[in-house]
Amino acid sequence: MISVEKAHKIINKTLTYPKIETIPIEKSLGRILAQDIVSGLNMPPFDKSAMDGFAISSKDNSEKFSIVEVIPAGAVPKKRINRGECAKIMTGAMLPDGTDRVVKREVTKEKNGVMFIKGEDKAFNVCLEGEDIQVGDRILAAGDKIRSAEVGIIASMGMNTVKVYKKPLVGILTTGSEIVEPGKKLATGQIYNSNSYSLSAQILELGAEVKYGGIVSDNQKLIGKSIEDFLSTVDMVLISGGVSMGDFDYVPQILEKLGVTLHFEKVAIKPGKPTVFGTCGKKFVFGLPGNPVSTFIIFEIFVKPLLYSLLGYTFAPFYLKGVMQQDMKRKKSIRLAFVPVMYNKGKISDISYHGSAHFNVLSQANALLEIPVGIDEILKGSEVDVRQI
């Protein structure tokens, strides 16, 4: 059995560089940038009006101004504006020569081609060339996640395609002769397959892709065949169940037979001790304990950071500081425990968690309390960090 820290180190050592592809910007939401975005433009690209109004020189304190031109957005001004003159200008239009100020329409009066300033407007109401961004500025960096705002920023640079990291394809295989797909009738002794669906959702949430391999009964040949198929078609294989000490837990030996190098088979973590991790060439394989909370938490702790790296993103868990509202005690302290808890406004509350088969607690939990090796109690009132999930 190895420590959680050691397991992380082993996983990190197997990392490979993510692959890159070029995609249209409208398909880029949620993807990870594989290029820096450096501006080839000044933004705004020219001095422009920020208001509908009249462009004048700020030094001109004439009483009235002849309107010599009307400038809509997108037009290039034709005339230079002299003393006693102005141009009627629309928001976003280019300022004409001789002007540096726009008097907003609301404080003016217009009559027979002449403009009078009727009220006070001290603002200049102009946006100067390069005020937001200058040529050569790095706007976004490789590794940034593309959210809605970033899609707009990339478009504003005039780019209609962008380089992103390729989505890894993750195969999910569920083992267990007792497991039945939701929607079917349960016979005595059977249970519904929840792991395939929670895993699939966890993978999709990160932005990777899923290939579902269905349920395979506890039969060495069948499990071997399914894993072999996956090893030639996906980037990572997640196998649920079949990794514990039971008579029908065949997964580690099957993986070895298929040429998968097993890097670890047991981790000092609770829940999820019998977690298996292996590689086969550039493919990654996890054997996840079948208990639903274990599967969920092991994904969060080990699979998620690796999958994010394959997506080109550096994941760092987010911790929240809070005060324990109850005592948390345990009998053995040889494993690092992750206990589902509820965090709210600095308070950390226990939820009635009966162990790794008790899946519905996860809907109340929004954080994991880490209890280090060697610690058997965390008392009410203590201040601790919890990991957001």
- Interface residues toward Mg ion, by CB under 5 A: 176, 241-242, 290
- In the bound complex, what is the minimum distance in angstroms from residue 386's beta carbon to ligand AMP? 26
What, of Mg ion, ligand AMP, none, does residue 202 touch, CB below 5 to 8 Å by kind?
Answer: none
Q: Which residue is nearest to ligand AMP (CB)?
A: 290
What, of ligand AMP, Mg ion, none, does residue 89 touch, CB below 5 to 8 Å by kind?
Answer: none
* 11 or 243: CB nearest ligand AMP: 243
Rounded CA gap, 141 and 227, in Å? Answer: 37
Tokens of 4: 């959680």
- In the bound complex, what is the minimum distance in angstroms from residue 246's beta carbon to ligand AMP? 5
- In the bound complex, what is the minimum distance in angstroms from residue 218's beta carbon to Mg ion? 6
What, of Mg ion, ligand AMP, none, does residue 289 touch, CB below 5 to 8 Å by kind?
Answer: ligand AMP
- In the bound complex, what is the minimum distance in angstroms from residue 245's beta carbon to ligand AMP? 8
Rounded CA gap, 310 and 208, in Å? Answer: 9
* 77 or 242: CB nearest Mg ion: 242
- In the bound complex, what is the minimum distance in angstroms from residue 257's beta carbon to ligand AMP? 19
* 98 or 290: CB nearest ligand AMP: 290
Residues that bind ligand AMP (CB under 6 A): 174, 176, 178-179, 191, 193-196, 240-244, 246, 249, 289-292
User: Please, how many CA atoms are within 13 Å of residue 206, restricted to the half-sphere of its CB?
Assistant: 30
What, of Mg ion, ligand AMP, none, does residue 271 touch, CB below 5 to 8 Å by kind?
Answer: none
> Positive or negative, the Cα torsion across 154, 160, 166, 167?
positive
What, of ligand AMP, Mg ion, none, does residue 240 touch, CB below 5 to 8 Å by kind?
Answer: ligand AMP
What, of Mg ion, ligand AMP, none, does residue 244 touch, CB below 5 to 8 Å by kind?
Answer: ligand AMP
Rounded CA gap, 227 and 224, in Å? Answer: 5
- In the bound complex, what is the minimum distance in angstroms from residue 191's beta carbon to ligand AMP? 5
- In the bound complex, what is the minimum distance in angstroms from residue 143's beta carbon to ligand AMP? 34
What, of ligand AMP, Mg ion, none, does residue 179 touch, CB below 5 to 8 Å by kind?
Answer: ligand AMP
* 28 or 196: CB nearest ligand AMP: 196
Rounded CA gap, 378 and 372, in Å? Answer: 10
